[in-house]
Structure 1
């Protein structure tokens, strides 16, 4: 019932800001703005970005603008963040944190693809519902409901999710939970674990549970009253996080280099999407953050 109600109400929380701040020019390799990061060539906001380099400008709240290949006009990221309407967003007071019952898009930091699912099953492995990363920020199949871990007491709607918590993510449109197990993911030649959608009407099993690890560690942020009073920090929307699978201890992961195409998945409905898998060690491709959605306060 909760998932259905939220699905009907989905909107992005958008507020126009006067002058979004620039963070940095983020360089990528291969003349592909969605390609692997090449931090050696990162630049300050005031630097003039010359043709011959690819990447994007990062603005406040992890907004990414002016994604360019190697052929582009000269610009600075300071100007790009001021001019690009997609950067004119900030979090309203009281909506800075991810809370129980919020419906969110989980954004892959390295590629900016969104965690995604759909009624398309894997042709290998478990045969369960596939989970991928999708390049569009507007696709309605990329919304997930944040809730307590399997077997835990129901979390309080609107309560902040603490770093270190065990959570589940329920896919809004299909009511299946983000899940992993020991089946191999389809593109990784047995090296990584498959990630799938599992369950019926939001009910699954322990393999739907993930531990939330916040990159900010134990640092308290302004407005996080529980943390100021000695509790664990809360999951802030601009935090980078990792999701560690309870059963396999592997991390939710995606990589632009592992994408479905007509060679590895002929005539597939998921061509162009990235594989999502679970890996045993931490790396930059396991970092995510909370993007568009409806956040309960």
Structure 2
């Protein structure tokens, strides 16, 4: 191997290592993130737009916006506290940074506009049973730390279906004439727990709260 090729390989190895380290950031409660749908690359979205029943709409938008950011919250008491690590298999609530409302299934008798699965909306009832989602990591077991690079599914614990979007379910002027969500993808909860590639989501980093216990342990090790 020539010196030039060896140097190129060395630089590549360093860059790859730094890339992996940057994407191995653990997620913590209280952090804000973007939820990106893996197949469509759209952003989980809500705004002051309501469905016909008055519930605040949740869609998936291609356009980046501050309204696409979400807090990662504990599902129930006792609270673990901001900065506590989130694990694969944890049950969480997803709260809009824009409206402070929580994502939930609107109920088993309320169907979504296009796919006729369960409607998804945002409401301010933090103790609602339909707003709890279990994180199912695609390549990790329950109990392993959730990281920014992980892909996952979100299973609604009460309605027993997955949070889903699809390229097939696009709002346009034929199914939602002159709607402000034309060009967005529908987000729904599936009628059953059969898995699909359309159930897979990813994170994009927003504002992450550091795990103080881990930071203290690292500081002790360095000292």
Question: What range describes the TM-score normalised by the shorter chain of this pair?
Answer: 0.7 to 0.9
In the other structure, the counterpart of 2:55 is 128
Shift of 1:90: 6.8
Q: Do structure 1's residue 164 and structure 2's residue 75 form an aligned pair?
A: no
| Deviating 4+ runs (over 3 angstroms) | 18-21, 88-93
Q: Is the 8 A contact 2:148 2:205 kept in 1?
A: no
In the other structure, the counterpart of 1:266 is 177
In the other structure, the counterpart of 2:218 is none
CA pair 265-236 structure 1, distance change in 2 beyond 3 A: same
- The correspondence for 2:204, drawn from 291, 294, 297, is 291
Shift of 1:216: 1.3
Shift of 1:204: 4.1
1:239-273: CA deviations, max 9, x gaps?
A: 11000001111000000110111111111011100
Distance in 2 of aligned mates of 1:117 and 1:239: 23
Distance in 1 of aligned mates of 2:165 and 2:77: 28
1 or 2 for the larger relative contact order (CA 8 Å, sep ≥6)? 2
Determine helix, strand or coil for the equivalent of 1:250.
Answer: coil
Q: Is the 8 A contact 1:98 1:290 kept in 2?
A: no
Shift of 1:98: 1.4
Aligned Cα root-mean-square deviation (Å): 2.3
Structure 2: unaligned runs, 5 residues or longer: 1-10, 211-223
In the other structure, the counterpart of 1:257 is 168
The structure in which a higher percent of residues are helix is 2
Shift of 1:217: 2.8
TM-score normalised according to structure 1 size: 0.61
- The correspondence for 1:140, drawn from 66, 70, 82, is 66
Distance in 2 of aligned mates of 1:237 and 1:292: 7
In the other structure, the counterpart of 2:29 is 100
Shift of 1:155: 2.2
1:105-129: CA deviations, max 9, x gaps?
A: 0010001101110010002xx4310
In the other structure, the counterpart of 1:210 is 133
TM-score normalised according to structure 2 size: 0.80
- Write the mapping of 1:112-123 to structure 2, written as runs, cut at 5 A: 112-123=41-52
In the other structure, the counterpart of 1:81 is none
Distance in 2 of aligned mates of 1:163 and 1:102: 16
Structure 1: unaligned runs, 5 residues or longer: 1-17, 22-59, 61-87, 219-230
Q: Is the 8 A contact 2:104 2:131 kept in 1?
A: yes
In the other structure, the counterpart of 1:9 is none
Q: Is the 8 A contact 2:49 2:57 kept in 1?
A: yes
Determine helix, strand or coil for the equivalent of 1:272.
Answer: coil
